[in-house]
Amino acid sequence: MLVVGELINASRKKVGEAIARRDADYIKKLARRQAEAGADFVDVNCGTFVEGEAELMGWLVDVVQEMVEKPLCIDTPNPEAMKVGLERHRNGRPMVNSVTEEPGRMDAVLPLILERKAKVVALCMSRAGMPSSAEERVEVARRLIGKLAEAGVPLDDIYVDPVVVPVGTDPQAGRAFLEAVRLIHEEFPEVHIICGLSNVSFGLPLRKLLNRNFLVMAMAMGLDAAILDPTDSGTIADICAVEALLGRDPFCMQYIEAYRGGRLVV
């Protein structure tokens, strides 16, 4: 299971304030906590700053890389900010979040992806906007995968995001997402499937309870990557357990290692 640490995101009030005042120490602490918790990638997002986003992205990438050696997920719909983030990235192969079917979105960043050999999140958003059904998600995923593969992006570098919608606003959103994961996994077994986990519980109490149960259900359907809080030890324990139960952890060695390291919290 590939884990992208979600905490360095300007939409979080304290993070946004820290970015605004260029508080490098605060950002570095968040980066270190996520890396130490086992995040495979650290997400960097300053998208709430409409003006000056590219400059802030460069600063954010530099600051995080001063603290950790993990590769980064450059998270922005702004091609200019994406370009700056990728140019400053030096910790291995980066991830790009994201490309969509929205007009001009993919064409603007595809050359950057190919140049840097970046992993890419393919978000199932089209000209029509947010998908509602599983079938709509699969249709968009099919077109995105086709275009990326045709351009030369290896299937193993594509991470399809079928779009998690809060269940508090649409009672069927969870079922539609899970069915889309199953269908995409069956049709494209070489492609990875990722999601922004915490979106499912937006606006509801005890969000971690919903997040953790939804993650387990999605993994059973074929999800193998997630953007989440890696410092939540309960979620990480769930991932270790489900990987073992699904046969994705040969001889349960990672589970045993996590137990010995005191990382399994029940």
Residue type, 253: M
Which two three-digit tokens encode residue 261?
Answer: 């390291």
pTM of the prediction? 0.96
How far apart are alpha carbons 93 and 49 in whole angstroms? Answer: 26
Residue type, 36: E
Radius of gyration of the chain (CA): 18
Digit-coded pLDDT (tens) for 60-92: 999 999 999 999 999 999 999 999 999 999 999
How far apart are alpha carbons 24 and 191 in whole angstroms? Answer: 36
Strands 119-123 and 158-161: parallel
Helix 207-221 to helix 173-187 angle (10° resolution) is: 30
* Three-state SS at 80: helix
Q: Give the torsion sign (CA, 227, 232, 238, 241).
A: positive
Long-range contacts of 167-171 (CB under 8 A, 24+ apart): 167/200, 167/201, 167/204, 167/210, 168/201, 168/202, 168/203, 168/204, 169/202, 169/203, 170/132
* Three-state SS at 97: strand
Please report, in tens digits, the pLDDT of each residue of the chain (266 residues total). 999 999 999 999 999 999 999 999 999 999 999 999 999 999 999 999 988 999 999 999 999 999 999 999 999 999 999 999 999 999 999 999 999 998 788 888 999 999 999 999 999 998 888 899 999 999 999 999 999 999 999 999 999 999 999 999 999 999 999 999 999 999 999 999 999 999 999 999 999 999 999 999 999 999 999 999 999 999 999 999 999 999 999 999 999 999 999 989 87
DSSP 252: G
Instruction: Look at the block and give the residue holding tokens 């906590």.
Output: 33
- Say how many Å lie between the first and final Cα of the chain, rounded: 19
Which two three-digit tokens encode residue 254?
Answer: 């990672």
Where would I find the H helices in the chain? 13-20, 24-36, 53-67, 79-88, 105-116, 134-151, 173-187, 207-221, 233-245, 253-260
